[in-house]
Amino acid sequence: MDVVLKYLLAAKNPIILVDACAIRHRVLEEVHDLVEKTNLPVFVTPMGKGAVNETHPSYGGVYAGEGSQPEVKERVEASDLILTIGAIKVRAPLCSAQETWGILLGCDFISTAS
């Protein structure tokens, strides 16, 4: 937890990205608490849709790489830290941000800062 906090405090444009396993493993209450306490922008993947209240002020939309709305894609890919919750772990990049996602999907947490 100290490592996560260290990166969160250092980030200038952090976001939360919620995926399917947050629903599957029933951690939505914790996700909602995190969103409320941090006020970080929160996005969902297509498989995570429904995990976050879409009327919440921090809700930014559905991120699906090239299939995203342009403003969602820009905001997610411009972040310097993506805190993922419920990501399904795979090795192959699945979207346009290949360098970030190739690492991100192998971890629960990553800083995208160079």
Domain coordinates in residue numbering, the chain: 2-111
Mean pLDDT for the stretch of residues 27-45: 92
One-letter-per-residue 3-state SS of the chain = CHHHHHHHHHCCCEEEEECHHHHHCCCHHHHHHHHHHHCCCEEECHHHCCCCCCCCCCEEEECCHHHCCHHHHHHHHCCCEEEEECCCCCCCCCCCCHHHHHHHCCCCEEECCC
**CATH number at 2-111:** 3.40.50.1220
pLDDT digit string, tens, across residues 56-86: 999 999 999 999 999 999 999 999 989 889 8
Mean pLDDT for the stretch of residues 5-21: 89
**What is the pTM (predicted TM-score) of this model?**
0.77
Q: pLDDT at residue 35 above 60?
A: yes
According to the model, what pLDDT value does residue 90 have?
Answer: 59
- Percent of the chain at pLDDT > 90 equals 46
According to the model, what pLDDT value does residue 4 have?
Answer: 79
